Structure 1
């Protein structure tokens, strides 16, 4: 790929990554609640999910998802149910303490990030629409170019999500151990997850 194409793609990708959306909200919610390490684990999980959508777009699987209404509905409702489950868990959480945060399973949060991303069919359709615009028919395999672009998108997303997680985690650390504040954080987190779930359930192609 030409350097100008790569730079243009990186610019567009950064603007899209920084725009308010479910992934940003998810990283912030986890980081504020559980700290910077948890936010980073969640961010890495979300970005790992991007590789799944990238491969799907490159291999043409995203087109199948777009054409099959049943597959689209199954994926989006599975994602909505999973988010509602996370919202329910957030409401059941008691006040966080430093000890509780230290005991959190980072691999579990990583997997949570992957599921959050993979179970959002909008991401697949987004990549299906975005990546081909930067593919040149004179630069070799279109599928390979799409995979390369997807990896570039993932790299910049890891950087930006990590910075977001570090900032939000620093804010959250100051709130750990304050029961009243923690209670409202849990409620806010449940509200965020529920909001994303509803948006996902109402999503149309």
Structure 2
């Protein structure tokens, strides 16, 4: 089992660090809302991964390949949600930064306001706004992961290949899921810290606007890709 575990850890690590939808969500949230926002989004994604792993352990993910209706329902729902995220990001970039300029003075003022918000989020203030932002980021992470049938198919198709003959399918699946989630947690920790540090250093409204625009286009691209996806 140890050999299979090590092989799985290596393969999963390569897949996890490949840029994708979940990483994009953590990146965008960390730049826009700081480390706490990025961590909340990552926690939501990890919760979704645990759910997919548990579903794989009991055989529920097989429905995604056995049932065209189940796959298409999840696929279309996920695409609609991603399209909504993309349009929201583009709308935010247009509304939030409308009329702003990239002048140093104005950028500094905007940066000061962002710094206050980040400080409040970091020190665990009792103000409702940061908490609402973290809850929204968590929900976005859960929804993005669970509404993506490719995530379920990933667990269903990859994990069984690393379960040794004669080993408990249920226990081995949960163990391999735990390894994958631990690796993802480490990866998202690195991404959220790097992205939030970049967001703190680059406080120009133009940078934030471009980041929102890039995120919006990326989410719309992921939505289109999901719409065109076929069952494995």
Deviation readout 1:119-157 (Å, 9 max, x if unpaired)? 000011111110111112323x21221121111111111
Give the match's secondary structure for 1:35: helix
**For the Cα contact (< 8 Å) 1:36–1:166, is it kept in 2?**
yes
Q: Give the counterpart of 1:152 among 162, 179, 199.
A: 179
Q: Does 1:120 align with 2:148?
A: yes
Q: Which moved more, 1:183-192 or 1:9-18?
A: 183-192
Give the match's secondary structure for 1:42: helix
Q: CA deviation at 1:108?
A: 1.4
- Give, in whole Å, the separation in 1 of the partners of 2:14 and 2:70: 30
Q: Give the counterpart of 2:191 among 156, 160, 164.
A: 164
Give the match's secondary structure for 1:19: coil
Structure-1 residue corresponding to 2:105: none
Structure-2 residue corresponding to 1:74: 73
Q: How do residues 51-66 of structure 1 correspond to structure 2 at under 5 angstroms? A: 51-66=50-65
- CA 80–35 in structure 1, closer or farther in 2 if over 3 Å, else same: same
- TM-score, normalisation: structure 2: 0.81
State the aligned residue count.
Answer: 202
The RMSD of aligned alpha carbons is 1.6
Structure-2 residue corresponding to 1:32: 31
- Give, in whole Å, the separation in 2 of the partners of 1:3 and 1:135: 10
Give the match's secondary structure for 2:229: coil
**For the Cα contact (< 8 Å) 1:40–1:166, is it kept in 2?**
no
Structure-1 residue corresponding to 2:219: 193
Q: CA deviation at 1:100?
A: 5.7
Structure-2 residue corresponding to 1:85: 84
- Give, in whole Å, the separation in 2 of the partners of 1:145 and 1:41: 28
Q: Give the counterpart of 1:181 among 179, 201, 207.
A: 207
- Give, in whole Å, the separation in 1 of the partners of 2:68 and 2:148: 14
Q: Which moved more, 1:93-102 or 1:153-162?
A: 93-102
Structure 2 stretches of 5 or more lacking a match? 98-109, 122-128
**For the Cα contact (< 8 Å) 1:41–1:110, is it kept in 2?**
yes
Instruction: Please say which structure displays the higher CA radius of gyration.
Output: 2
Runs of 4+ in 1 over 4 A off after TM superposition: 99-102
